[in-house]
Amino acid sequence: MTVLETRPDATASLRFPAGFRWGTATAAYQIEGAAAEDGRTPSIWDTFSRTPGKVRNGDTGDIAADHYHRLSEDVALMRRLGVTDYRFSIAWPRVQPTGRGPAVQKGLDFYRRLTDELREAGIRPVATLYHWDLPQELEDAGGWPQRETAYRFAEYAGLAAEALGERVATWTTLNEPWCAAFLGYGNGVHAPGRTSAVDSLRAAHHFNLAHGLAVQALRAALPEPAEVSLTLNLHAVRAHSDAPEDMDAARRIDAVGNRIFLDPVFHGRLPQDLVADTAAVTDWAFVQDGDLRTASAPVDSLGINYYSPTAVAAGSSESPSPWAGAERHVRFVPVPGPRTAMDWPVDADGLHELLVRLRDELPGVPLVVTENGAAYDDYADPSGQVKDPERVAYLHAHLAAVHRAIEDGADVRGYFLWSLLDNFEWAYGYSKRFGVVHVDFATQRRTFKDSARWYADVIARGGLPA
């Protein structure tokens, strides 16, 4: 496998600003396990993973990395890493199993223990309220294409905030609503596995509405100063050429991939070119008066998840496509260079491009890289070591890109490496490993990879080594 080359002369001793947040991240369904314990009921991912043919090898998150029972061990790993922050998600069906009614105290107790142990270890808890695990009962009632789901989410946000309050340093409403809306309802490769362009657009709008309603609920329940955020997987979109038709293809993907969330949340408006692009799909009548004002409730920071760029040209895409309104006008073209085990191109410049774009488009909004990392075919050698030089090179290049963006004036406050642990990688099951800590899923043994030791050194230095 090709190792991404880095140039020590260009990245030697790159120091990050004082107070920069060095973190790592996980998600509830990917690591917790304990799928039917202490009152937790099925989420859409429990149902989806049990549907034949949906997840590789028929894998489920029933046990995952067994974090529910190994909480203290995993916090100790974070302490060894030296991270200042830990980004985790709260499982909605563990806290409010049916998506309605009172919270389950045993579920909340797990997150009380987690946040208390993090704080005792000197690690800031960063909680995400939604990382794709919608209670199945709400999906049975229509899921995210139904407006009511947004109101149920706001109620859940209030319950979580009242219970955990000051224990959590940063509250993030949603993680990657694009994936949840368009991979879940558009082309069906994620839970709940539906394939409807109009449902994907309805879901995207209701995610924006849910975010705004949740911000209101959090502000009402939390003490000051409470940091409230949103995490988006924005696409670094590149046109294949400067031909007008290729440029228009990039515009279409930017509209449905980025501005469908950025414009409502930060500007209180719908992208009118997106409305025109999707006129054959919907008239957007599901957007009611006041929705965009609600969606644009101010946040304290924006989280950016980035793995690789997207290159497009004029053409057409496979059906069903997650790119509502663009599928008959856009084809995706390969990005040159090395690739990860996910077959994703390695291109750190895309991260720099996104951060500088947001510097210009959202002045005054602090930015945090809330996910960045890579899957490679890691294994423990006979001595028990896990050598992953490709991941070290990937992280080195992307952190250098973050540093360059900061030098160029982007207000980037932190970086969260994805992921702490090898875990359940959604439709790929356990076949892809993103962790800097290797997990033997048969024994649950945790082993630091070389990348974990490298990241610990970066944190200790406050910057990149030569």
Please list the active-site residues.
Answer: 176, 371
Q: Strands 301-305, 237-239: parallel, antiparallel or unpaired by DSSP? A: unpaired
30, 60 Cβ separation under 8 angstroms: no
Tokens 């997150």 label which residue? 111
d(CA 358, CA 410): 8
d(CA 322, CA 182): 5
* Residue 338 neighbours by CB under 8 Å, 6+ apart: 1, 2, 3, 4, 345, 346, 390
Q: Could you give the angle at the alpha carbon of 306 between the alpha carbons of 301 and 312, nearest 5°?
A: 120
- CB burial string 416-426: b at 16+ within 10 A, e below: bbbbbbbbbbb
- CB burial string 379-406: b at 16+ within 10 A, e below: eeeeeeebebebbbbbbbbbbbbbbbbb
* C-alpha 103 chain-centroid distance: 25
**H helix runs in 282-342, sequence order:** 291-295
d(CA 466, CA 186): 44
